Amino acid sequence: MKRFIGIVIILLCIPILVIVQEAIAVELTTANTFNEQMTRSIELSTPSVNVPVAMKDRNGVIFAEEYVEWRTPLALDSIPTFVRQLFLESEDKSFFDHRGYDVAAIVRAFAVNTATDDLQQGASTITQQVVRMRFLSTEKTYERKLTELFYATELEKQTTKEAILEMYLNEMYFGNQVYGIGAAATYYFSKPIYELNEAQQAFIAAIPNNPSLYDPLVHFDQTKKRQERLLNILAKNGVITIEEAETYTSMPITLQLKKKVNNFPAYSTYVLSELSDLIAQSEGLADQIAEATDESDKLALEAQVQQRTAEVLATGLVIETALDPRKQQQDEQAVTALLKPEGLQAGAAVIDNETREIISLFAGKNYKKADFHRAFQAVRQPGSAIKPILVYAPYFESGPYTANSRVNSGSVCIGSYCPTNVGGYVYGTTTVKEAFRHSHNTAAVRLLQTVGIDKAFSFIEPFHFKSIVQQDHSYAAALGGFSKGMTPLELVGAYTGFIDGMYTPVRAIRTVKDSEGKLLYEWADQKIEIWSPTTISIMRSLLSDVVTNGTGRGIPYTTSYTGAKTGTTDYYKDLWVGGLNEHYTTAVWVGYDKPQPMKSLSDQKIHLQLFSALLRD
């Protein structure tokens, strides 16, 4: 009977055992899944932060900074021991002993919060604070606190105490959009952390506990009181002596706030635009965009370039440029002073002949960051300023022609296209030199006809005029008649070919490095020959003749050589000059953002005055 009852009991227990076993299996699976999710979450959720970008001029001096949040991440071993002790002693004395959380502190906080029915008493270790900054909200609930404990434990498993402390010191908020102890030192005292004395280090260490209450710009006295409390804690715990604490407390604190460097916004704005082009070319995206036949594919690739640029900028960069600050300032002042009429604007670029680098940019009168940039964004009709590039140089490349070759400057019609000379004048047969000197339109069209439209345009393909399209391949282009046109920066780039016949794209950026000095990007442009030595000799002579005898009279000779070509559009709505001397190549556009006639300004030769100012040393 007992045996029978035993068998029955065993049989009855089997389902219970199965149920229990299944429950255990489910719990184990859930626990393992949670553990995997926790591990993955910690590993993959490293926060994305924006580190400042610094731009340096050709002398290695920072002239512009780009940042929303001021951060200066530091390695732990570069943070003074005294600073580390300030936080360890005041925030988490047992940091190097616990596994992410402090049981005693949690019990103490729970007792206090239960008694007061209010979540006021904290018990967060440094590890928990890192978890909260990186992965969780600051909501004060027991559910969030429990999750925080799991995350803290997992973080301690995945990394070292030293790494966690480094995260903490670099990611704490110090008010005024400043993150990290290194950034706080430079922001509040304009010095690196290791140059601060103990009193200053303790002062900024007082801020993170409550960045609003201890904002030194608003509540300096409150910050000072907390600094004194921190020093007393160090003395009480035997880290420093009472006498040292008193000495540090009595030391004066004088803030020296860091000012955001934002000199020459016309140049820095362009540098950021060029950075996108550099990244696109370096990572193969530029070639993909050029080869894209579907417009949606092209737009997607362009969006990818912008995304990559944002990602690279967020890592923190040092961009070394060719900016000549003396020349930039001189040009800005000179051009601004000449733009007298209300609303009159200009766009210009100056290139160093030796290096082919952009050393100065004029974006517009009273230009401010993020305004319309007339040096590289203003696409306007170039008028006769295009003739040297599209007509005359290709003409000399196409046969045994010279400046004394004959050309008919009389009336001409090609199909329905019948251009006229300025003022409606009709000339007979002249030399090419004469036609160039006085900018005869009919002669330019005939020369383009001699060269052939497609062949002429093939010569300017290396210049990569972004707004020139297939429909611009017409005889009207000989006179600057394009569907859109070009920018001053594009035109000056093309004119650098007249320095010695060689061409390389003009650039502002020399190198792009990370915050530790590692090279990330630099241009890999190669010089190519555009014009033969014979063509260059003739073209330089013709450009010089324009200055001494033609439409460029009034431009002074400041070096052993000066050459230029002027350009105007219908009703004088755009005035241009492109040219060079021994040191610089420049192009300047003058006009109104909303085009209007400027005959009187043309008569006053304002464009020649601006061009002359830009060529000065």
Compute the residue count for the chain: 617
* CA 338 – CA 372 distance, rounded (Å): 20
* CA 617 – CA 613 distance, rounded (Å): 9
What phi and psi values does residue 319 have, to the nearest 5 degrees? -105, 115
Contact 373, 367 (CB under 8 A): yes
* CA 565 – CA 436 distance, rounded (Å): 9
* CA 397 – CA 410 distance, rounded (Å): 24
3-state SS string over 116-180? HCCCCCCCCCHHHHHHHHHCCCCCCCHHHHHHHHHHHHHHHHHCCHHHHHHHHHHHCECCCCEEC
Q: In the β-sheet with 317-321, what is the strand arrangement from edge to edge?
A: 62-66, 53-56, 317-321, 509-514, 519-521
Q: Work out whether strand 357-362 and strand 584-592 pair parallel, antiparallel, or are unpaired.
A: unpaired
Catalytic positions: 91, 384
* CA 20 – CA 26 distance, rounded (Å): 10
Q: Which long-range contacts (CB under 8 A, 24 or more apart) does 282-289 make?
A: 282/521, 283/308
Which residues touch 81 (CB under 8 Å, ≥6 apart)? none
